[in-house]
Structure 1
Amino acid sequence: MSTPSSAAATPTAAAKQSRAQRLPTPAEVQQAIVAGLDAARRNLDTLRTNIELLVKHQIEGIRDNLTTLRYDLEAIVGPYRPPVTPDIPADDTPGLIGNPAAKEGLFLYQGQTNRCVLMSTGMVIGQLLGADKMPTAQQITDEAATTPSTVYPDKYIYDPVADTYVAYADALQLLENHGITATSTQYSKGQGTNAINNVKAALTSGESVIVTVNASIAWGRAAPGDAVTANHAITVLGIDTIKNIVYVNDSAFNNPGIAMKMDVFMSSWAANDYQTITAYVTPAQQSTIAA
């Protein structure tokens, strides 16, 4: 009888060898070791990077906390620095940047209210458009009280009853309403040199500048108690690079043309991340003003 065709064939020697477990060759063992070491090295590199970042962040956090503590201590037991209103030098004085003598009289007083941003905005309008187009304190207040906020939906820029703080984005909107282009900028803690250089450049080109300072650092125990001191808006009129003096208009004090020492100005400004608004007349408006 013949063998059925469906019967299983006897495995060959080659097939038996393919099914048997094969030991890795020396080259494969070496490749596996190298791959394992590479993976371990990458893991160690990642761990080292993560530790370095953790330490860096911890150091930065401690430094920021110490800086905040210094600001708080200065506000509590700091020196008494009442505003000084010197005779501002002529605009063509060597080393003087900006036009402080021409701008100091364009001043608005906020009174016992929280309107420093509004008054600074109104002063910038006067600096750029002229005294005849500068709003009064009441006019800029009324405008803000009837202009919808770009920051807070269904609210106006300023609530005179609640005496709300005015957002800088809304200040930009008010300036735009008057034909002025403005930009708001903040800088990191280590960019103080860049911040002041940009302010100098803006003043040199004829722009107006608003900065945010910590009034308790700027004026020490002489800071006005009825105004917000941590985020206080003032206008920079000019900088004397020889005497290291910054001339400002601060609406919290009813006396324009205040002089600040540069180091005090920088410290008070740094407390608010060098918050800056630079403004200039929109080109389309410039031709109208010239006419």
Structure 2
Amino acid sequence: MAESSTTSAASVAALATPTPNKIVQDLAEFGHNVYLTVANQVAGTRANLDVLRDDLANVFGISRVTITTPGVYGNPTLNKQYYVGMQDYYAAPLSTVAMAYGQLTGAAPDLPAFITAALNTESVAYPGYKIYRGSDAKWFVRWTDSYELLQDKDVRITSKSYSQQTKAINALAAGLQDPTKVIIAAINGPVDGVTGAGEKTVIVIGLDTTQNLVTINDPTQAGGQGLQMSLEDFTDQWSKQSFRLVTAQLASSSSTPLPAPATKLVWSLPAPNDIGRALDSAGKNVALLVVHQIQGAQANLGDLANDLSYVFGVADPNIAPPSPDSVEYGNYAKNYPYFVYQGNYPTCLLMATAAIIGQLRGGAMPPDLGQQILAQATSTPSGVYPNQMIYEPDGTGDNGLHWGTNTADALKLLNMNGVNADWTTYLKGEGDVAMDAMTAALSQNQGVIVSVASNVIWNAYTRRYFDRTTFQPGPRGVQRDHDVVVISVDLTKKVVFINDSAMRNGQGFPVPLDEFMKAWQYSGYSTVTAELQTT
């Protein structure tokens, strides 16, 4: 009996008694995992309802488009005075930014000063070279470099592309309403001395939607001062550059957001001879609606199983996702499932495009969605590369075929799949502006794709979490070479979570915020933001 009591006491003494702090810590972790479980189920239910709304819209042929209130925007009578023609086509962008700066400051455009600056300023687009090499070099000034010259004069620049013409026109009208801003558009149109249409940038100084007229200052044409053209002709030329719109504003001016666009519902009623086809389409859409709801329920149950394993300690993630008290932009739990692995192929942007489509549609991620987008890309003509498809599987960069996918073509693919997308880039000093725009998009449940230098983000991960540097730059040094989906930004932990198709463990991949910004800057903070067309 005494021996038994002694043994029992020793056994009790051998048990590790948790400290009060450990108990509190364990309870906090348990509470966090329960929170994520509930959050995932709520997010899944909301996603299912969003998909149901969109599916019903497809069944009944309803869509929402952006409209521009009829009116006269801008002041062409005043601003056509800030005109200067090009010295030569190679340096035409310098005339555009000279006009922009003249309009911003109310002074005559000083083209010689911009030419001198370009001859003496390092190119961002082509490191190791000057922005302008003189007309004898026959080397075009890059538009991005010309905007850098404006930034050097304390001008704030925002560059954006649109996949939807109505949104682009509305943004143009909104920008012209602000007299502190100058609006630059990239178009394909006539150029003096050039056969056929040439790429160029022009200053838009007026938009009259009552008469469907656009007024521009175009430095590439002798009659380009206050040149009027029909809205139809302008949008046709503008569409060739993915409706690229650049807003310039003195840094000393207050930055006011564009007015929210007005929208209206549009009904797509079939023609009488298309009734049979419309009924067939409606039947398929109803079937798709049911399938999406079943897939969504299955995905929710799958998330529930995984989350419960975390709650009861069956599994434990290496890097914890955002906690309830984190300042989070985006939704890690909701966006995490939408991941596609690219394998040993240069399809990162295509797989990011597929992931965004799945993320915005909600429900379970279709296992073949990546292949569907790849098939579309290999069979759809590129809007950037003449006589080529969006993706050329055999492209090497040496035989005239492009390698990978252009961002403007990714917008085209998104649009083909019921998603509106905008593409924005920023100048070298506008990282904070880019981050603010990205977190705002994430807060609005939009999909976000960014372009980065891959070796920077991967080395950031291995250095921070494994204390080693693994990935070396390629023969061209550190450069933009990869596209990823941003699913969450945790400002409390200072971590950006991405879905990176290049790695099998790229789902919810954590990148320290400071290193993410370094990797992102190599693309000019290139950002694609996307949302369903019916929202």
What's the TM-score once normalised by structure 2's chain length? 0.37
Is 2:499 aligned against 1:249?
A: yes
Of structures 1 and 2, the one scoring higher in RCO (CA 8 A, sep 6+) is: 1
The residue identity in structure 2 corresponding to 1:201 is A
Q: CA RMSD in A?
A: 3.1
Q: Percent identity?
A: 34
CA distance in structure 2 between the partners assigned to 1:136 and 1:172 by the alignment: 17
Gaps of 5+ in 1: 1-48, 67-83, 287-291
Query: Structure 1 residues 53, 225: closer, same or farther in 2, change over 3 A?
Result: closer
Partner of 1:196: 435
Matched residue of 1:235: which SS? strand
Asked if the contact 2:337/2:365 (under 8 Å) is kept, the reply is: no
Is 2:511 aligned against 1:272?
A: no
Aligned length: 218
Highest CA radius of gyration, 1 or 2? 1
Query: Structure 1 residues 133, 216: closer, same or farther in 2, change over 3 A?
Result: closer
User: How far is the alpha carbon of 1:103 from its aligned partner?
Assistant: 1.2
Matched residue of 2:388: which SS? coil
Query: Structure 1 residues 216, 152: closer, same or farther in 2, change over 3 A?
Result: same
Matched residue of 1:87: which SS? coil
Deviates more, 1:268-277 or 1:155-164: 155-164
Is 2:400 aligned against 1:167?
A: no
Q: 1:256-267 residue pairs with structure 2 within 5 A?
A: 256-267=507-518
Matched residue of 1:237: which SS? strand
Is 2:329 aligned against 1:97?
A: yes
User: How far is the alpha carbon of 1:132 from its aligned partner?
Assistant: 4.2
User: How far is the alpha carbon of 1:102 from its aligned partner?
Assistant: 1.6
Q: 1:214-233 residue pairs with structure 2 within 5 A?
A: 214-220=453-459, 222-223=470-471, 230-233=480-483
CA deviations on 1:150-191 (whole Å, 9 max, x unpaired) are 112222111223373111111001100111100011100000
CA distance in structure 2 between the partners assigned to 1:229 and 1:109 by the alignment: 22
The residue identity in structure 1 corresponding to 2:352 is S
CA deviations on 1:38-76 (whole Å, 9 max, x unpaired) are xxxxxxxxxxx97898579746569x959xxxxxxxxxx
Matched residue of 2:408: which SS? helix
The residue identity in structure 1 corresponding to 2:433 is N
Asked if the contact 2:425/2:527 (under 8 Å) is kept, the reply is: yes
Asked if the contact 1:224/1:252 (under 8 Å) is kept, the reply is: no
2:369 to 136, 140, 157: 136
User: How far is the alpha carbon of 1:137 from its aligned partner?
Assistant: 2.4
Matched residue of 1:122: which SS? helix
Query: Structure 1 residues 50, 196: closer, same or farther in 2, change over 3 A?
Result: same
The residue identity in structure 1 corresponding to 2:374 is T
Partner of 1:116: 348
Matched residue of 2:415: which SS? helix
CA deviations on 1:3-50 (whole Å, 9 max, x unpaired) are xxxxxxxxxxxxxxxxxxxxxxxxxxxxxxxxxxxxxxxxxxxxxx97
Partner of 1:186: 425
Matched residue of 1:189: which SS? coil
The residue identity in structure 2 corresponding to 1:189 is K
Matched residue of 1:107: which SS? coil
Partner of 2:485: 235
The residue identity in structure 2 corresponding to 1:96 is E
